[in-house]
Amino acid sequence: MNDNTEFQKCLAEMYGLRRFGIILGLETTEAILRELGNPQDRFASVHIAGTNGKGSIASYLSTILREAGYNVGLYTSPHLVRFNERIKINHREITDQEVLEAYNAVKKVGYGDREPTFFEYTTAMAFYHFGHKDIDWAIIETGMGGRMDSTNVLKPAVSVISNISLEHQMYLGDTLEKIAAEKGGIIKNGTPVVTGVSQENVFAVLQNLADERSAPIYRLGMDFTAEETGRNRFTYHGIYEAWENLRTSLQGRHQIENAAIALSACEVLQMGYGKHPSVAIPVDTIRKGLLTTKWPGRLEKIMDSPLVILDGAHNLSAVENLSRYMEEELSERKITLVAGILGDKSYEAMLGNLLPHCTRVILTRSKIDRALDPLMMKPVAEKYISDVQIVNDVGEAVQHALKTVPKDEVICISGSLYVVGEARAFFESRGIV
């Protein structure tokens, strides 16, 4: 059996594992990592939870720390096109052979009382890989929640909670306060917390958890702020520092808030807490890191003529950010929306936010079994615009849009990271990205 066959076999076995396990506890992950020699203890880490913005914040931090001269691992999910995107060191994706090595290492050890979920397995693989590559820092994004997320075996230098809105209610709870308690589970004793949470009732939950664990907590809008000074430009007023004329590479006003949260985490790292010594991050490094950060599939421009934008807005809060971007940046241009949404999302509200900015929509569905049938979305879409089409395959939907949209108009592909991933694969196959 050749290496590519082995690689595909290991991916198939992983994808065959149970997908979710938020209420199952940490025992299985701890058992695997213990048998692997606890590789997560060999590097310092930043742990990031929240509803939206986790990946952007993680990408900002990994880029800034890399620019500062550190070897940096990055673990995020889900991937858009390739599994390897989930695990990176210094911006380089894990190779197929390294995936195989990590997969086989985990497969050889005991699981405890039950088989691991897909995310538990991949988390163990990421920590194994990082632990054997002599990295200095790992930026780790939670999968779904926090308290029982398999990444919550870490002892980070700083915990980050981006923001909180209603999501995954079957697993995390049916109120913002319950979800905050789950995501706030990443707060550790004596470990500083940085958050962008805006709701007072939600922040109160995090504050109580931080107080119980003697953890300093820094809040966007209170302990640090970001003053927008132009498109993608802002001044950061931090915990101790103030940095003017900063600019982000990522599009959308919400990215200024994400950048500010990342910068606050940098300040905490510069101060040092507990066993973690202070980290040298010069301001020039911060400026360059913000400018060079990349995060595919999030307001990502793929083509200019027509303008093609990929945005993996997959819940109402993220869709509101995309809607605001359409209003502020694209209001003078005709927009064709290519949209596919998962069945557990608020598709009526999502379409209601996006379609008033559009002249046409092509409804589609990703290959994942949780994808919503476009026929269910069609009556909702027709409340807002008359030009509603259905093309069930994402690649074919994108191709149809490219053939029928004039060069001076806009195609926006959104509704799900899975749809964006399949669209990006379409463009990659044609050498466009």
Domain ends where: 292, 317, 336?
292
Q: Does residue 287 sit in the same domain as residue 321?
A: no
Q: Under a CB-based contact definition with an 8 Å cutoff, are residues 75 and 141 in contact?
A: yes
Q: Is the pLDDT reported for residue 284 higher than 60?
A: yes
Task: Tell me the C-alpha distance between 368 and 310, whole Å.
Answer: 18
**At which residue do the structure tokens 């994004």 appear?**
141
Q: Under a CB-based contact definition with an 8 Å cutoff, are residues 238 and 224 in contact?
A: yes
Domain ends where: 247, 265, 292?
292
Q: Which domain holds residue 259?
A: 3-292
Q: Does residue 187 sit in the same domain as residue 330?
A: no
User: Nearest CA to 279 among 36, 67, 6, 78?
Assistant: 67
Q: What is the CATH number of the domain that holds 339?
A: 3.90.190.20
Task: For residue 25, name the pLDDT band (cuts at 50, 70, 90).
Answer: confident
Residue 51 makes CB contacts below 8 A (sequence gap 6+) with 162, 163, 164, 165, 167, 179, 183, 315, 317
Q: What is residue 207's predicted lDDT score, i.e. its pLDDT?
A: 98
Q: Is the pLDDT reported for residue 2 higher than 70?
A: no
SS3 195: strand
Q: Is the pLDDT reported for residue 169 higher than 70?
A: no
Q: What is residue 329's predicted lDDT score, i.e. its pLDDT?
A: 95
SS3 220: strand
Over the stretch 178-236, which tens digit does the pLDDT of each residue have? 999 999 999 999 999 999 999 999 999 999 999 999 999 999 999 999 999 999 999 99
What radius of gyration do the chain's Cα atoms show? 21
Q: What is residue 419's predicted lDDT score, i.e. its pLDDT?
A: 97
Query: What is the DSSP code string of 10-49?
Result: HHHHHHTS-S--TTS-SHHHHHHHHHTT-GGGGSEEEEEE
Q: What is residue 433's predicted lDDT score, i.e. its pLDDT?
A: 79
**At which residue do the structure tokens 């990994």 appear?**
62
Taking residues 22-48, report their average pLDDT: 91
Q: Is the pLDDT reported for residue 23 higher than 90?
A: no
Over the stretch 60-75, which tens digit does the pLDDT of each residue have? 999 999 999 999 999 9
Task: For residue 240, name the pLDDT band (cuts at 50, 70, 90).
Answer: very high
Q: What is the CATH number of the domain that holds 150?
A: 3.40.1190.10
Q: What is the tally of structural domains in the chain?
A: 2
Q: Does residue 124 sit in the same domain as residue 174?
A: yes
pTM: 0.94
Over the stretch 303-350, which tens digit does the pLDDT of each residue have? 999 999 999 998 899 999 999 999 999 999 999 999 999 988 899 999
Q: Is the pLDDT reported for residue 111 higher than 90?
A: no
User: Nearest CA to 106 among 119, 93, 88, 95?
Assistant: 119
Q: Does residue 273 sit in the same domain as residue 317?
A: no
Burial class (CB in 10 A: 0-12, 13-18, 19+), 3: exposed
Q: Does residue 325 sit in the same domain as residue 357?
A: yes
Beta-sheet pairing, 410-414 with 307-311:
parallel
Task: For residue 174, name the pLDDT band (cuts at 50, 70, 90).
Answer: confident
Domain ends where: 292, 315, 332?
292
Q: What is residue 158's predicted lDDT score, i.e. its pLDDT?
A: 97
Q: Does residue 369 sit in the same domain as residue 220?
A: no
The DSSP 8-state label assigned to residue 202 in this structure reads H
Over the stretch 371-417, which tens digit does the pLDDT of each residue have? 999 999 999 999 999 999 999 999 999 999 999 999 999 999 999 99
Q: Does residue 288 sit in the same domain as residue 305?
A: no
Q: Does residue 110 sit in the same domain as residue 194?
A: yes
Q: Is the pLDDT reported for residue 124 higher than 60?
A: yes
Q: Does residue 323 sit in the same domain as residue 260?
A: no
Query: What is the DSSP code string of 112-156?
Result: -SSPPPHHHHHHHHHHHHHHTTT-SEEEEE-SS-STT-GGGG---
Q: Does residue 75 sit in the same domain as residue 173?
A: yes
**At which residue do the structure tokens 């599009």 appear?**
251
Tokens for 4, please give them. 């590519």
Tokens for 84, please give them. 């390897």
Query: What is the DSSP code string of 346-392?
Result: -HHHHHHHHGGG-SEEEEEE-SSTTBPPHHHHHHHHTTT-S-EEEEE
Mean pLDDT of the chain: 94
Q: Does residue 323 sit in the same domain as residue 267?
A: no
Q: Does residue 385 sit in the same domain as residue 310?
A: yes
Query: What is the DSSP code string of 50-94?
Result: -SSSHHHHHHHHHHHHHHTT--EEEE-S--SS-GGGGEEETTEEP
